[in-house]
Structure 1
Amino acid sequence: MIREFSLTEVWVIVSGIWATLALSLIAFGLGGLTGLGVALARTAPIKSLRIAAATFIDFFQGTPLLLQLFLVFYGLPVLGVKVNLWVAAGLGLALHAGGFLGEIWRGGIQAVARGQSEAADALGLGYYDRMRYVVLPQALRMSFAPTVGFLVQLIKGTSLAAIIGFVELSRSGQLVSSITYKPLLAFGLVGLCYFAICFPLSRYSARLERRFAVNN
C-alpha cells in the first residue's frame, strides 16, 4: 500500500540523524585512539613498528570502506565472534578512520620543527615526555583542520553502513522512499539533512586552515 508523504515520513527521515551522528562519534572516537597509536608507531624509532603502521595505513587507505565493513560484519562471525550492527558498523568505520587519522597526524608530527625535539633532548626529556609536552600539542594543532575535514567525510561515509542493515539517515530515506514511491522527495530531504550537518563543519575546517596559514 502506497502511503502519502506526510510529517510522519519526514520525522522518520529526520530521526535517522541521531543514528548517523552517534555512529560518527563512536567511529571518530575509537578511530582517533587507533590513529594516534598508528601515528606514534609510524614515527617511532623502531623499524618494525613503522612497517606495521605503514601496512595498516596502506590497507585501510587502499581498500573501499564498503569492503572493510563487509570484512568486519561477515569476518568476525566466522572467527566465532558475534557482533550486532552497532558493533560491526562502529568497528569497521573506526578502523577506516584510524588509517586516515594516523596518516594525518603522522604528517603533523613530522611537520614539527626538528629543533623542538632537539631542545627537548637537551632538557633531558625522554621519548614519552617529549611527545606528550612538546611534539604532540604542536602536531595536533597543525592537524586540526584536516582532522575536521576528515570528520566530514566520515559522517558521509556512515551512509555505507546501510548496506549491512544499519538504519541511519540514508537507510531511513530508503525506507520512506519504498513506502511512498517518492524517491526524489525522500532522498532530497536526506541530502538536506547531510548538508545541514556537514556544511558548517566544512566551513569551520576551511576557517581553521586559513587561520593556521596566517599564524605561520
Structure 2
Amino acid sequence: MIRDFTLTEFWLVAAGLGATLALSAIAFIGGSLAGLLVALARTAPAKGLRMTAAAFIDFFQGTPMLLQLFLVFYGLPVLGWKVNVWVAAAVGLTLHAGAFLGEIWRGGIQAVPRGQTEAAAALGLGYGARMRYVVLPQALRMSFAPTVGFLVQLIKGTSLAAIIGFVELSRSGQLVSSITYKPLLAFGLVGACYFAICFPLSRYSARLERRFAAGH
C-alpha cells in the first residue's frame, strides 16, 4: 500500500538521523581512545609494540569498512559472543576509527620537533611524562584539523551499517522511499541531513588547516 509523505515519514527519517549521530559519537569517542593507544604504540621504543600497531593499522586501512562490519557481526557470535546490530556497528566502526585516528595522531607525534623531546629527556622526564606534558599536547593540536576531517568521513561511513540491519539515516530514507514511492523526496531529505551535518564540519576542518599553516 502506497502512503503519502506525512509527518510520520518525516519522523522516521529524523529517527534515522538520531541513530546516525549516536553511532558516530560512540565510534568517534571509542576510536579516539583506541587511536591514542595505537599512536603511542606506533611511536613506542619497543619494536614489538610498533609492529603490532602497524599490523592493526594495515588491516583496517587495507580492507573495506563493509568487510570489517561483516567480520564483527558474523565473527563475534562464532566466538560465543552474541551481539545485536548496535553493538556490532559500534565495535566495527570504533576499530576502524581507531586505526585511522591512530595513524593521524602518529603523524602528529612525529611532527613535534625532536629537540623538544630531547630537552624533556635532559630534564629527567621519563617516556610517559614526555608524551603527556610535552609531545601529546602539541601533536593533538597539529592533528586537530585532519581529525575533524576524518569525523566527516566517519559520519558518512555509518551508512554502511545498514547492510547488517542497522537503521540509520540512509536506511530510513530507503524505507520511506519504499512505502511512499517518492524516492526523490525521501533521499533528498536524507541528503539534506547529511549536508547539514558534514558541510559545516568540512569547512571548519579547512579553516583549521589554514590557521595552522598561517601559524607556521
Partner of 1:18: 18
- Structure 2: distance between partners of 1:165 and 1:15: 15
Give 3-state SS (helix, strand or coil) of 1:167's partner: coil
- What is the deviation of 1:161? 0.5
- Structure 2: distance between partners of 1:48 and 1:153: 31
Partner of 2:200: 200
Query: How high is the TM-score relative to the length of structure 1?
Result: 0.99
**Aligned runs of 1:64-79 on 2, under 5 Å?**
64-79=64-79
CA distances 1:80-116 after superposition (whole Å, capped 9, x unpaired): 0011111100000000001100100000000000001
Partner of 1:133: 133
Which amino acid counterpart does residue 69 of structure 2 have in structure 1?
L
Partner of 1:213: 213
RMSD (Å), alpha carbons:
0.7
**Aligned runs of 1:1-216 on 2, under 5 Å?**
1-216=1-216
CA distances 1:113-143 after superposition (whole Å, capped 9, x unpaired): 0001011011100000000000000000000
- Structure 2: distance between partners of 1:46 and 1:128: 14
- Structure 1: distance between partners of 2:11 and 2:138: 43
CA distances 1:27-82 after superposition (whole Å, capped 9, x unpaired): 00111111110000001111111100000000000000000000000000011001
Give 3-state SS (helix, strand or coil) of 2:83's partner: coil
Give 3-state SS (helix, strand or coil) of 1:107's partner: helix
Give 3-state SS (helix, strand or coil) of 1:204's partner: helix
Moved >2 Å (runs of 4+): none
Give 3-state SS (helix, strand or coil) of 2:125's partner: coil
Give 3-state SS (helix, strand or coil) of 1:131's partner: helix
Unaligned runs of 5+ in 1: none
- Structure 1: distance between partners of 2:45 and 2:127: 10
Which amino acid counterpart does residue 88 of structure 2 have in structure 1?
A
Give 3-state SS (helix, strand or coil) of 1:185's partner: helix
Query: How high is the TM-score relative to the length of structure 2?
Result: 0.99
- Structure 1: distance between partners of 2:121 and 2:165: 52
- What is the deviation of 1:7? 2.4
- What is the deviation of 1:169? 0.6
Give 3-state SS (helix, strand or coil) of 1:5's partner: coil
- Structure 2: distance between partners of 1:51 and 1:28: 24
- Structure 2: distance between partners of 1:124 and 1:7: 65
- What is the deviation of 1:8? 2.0
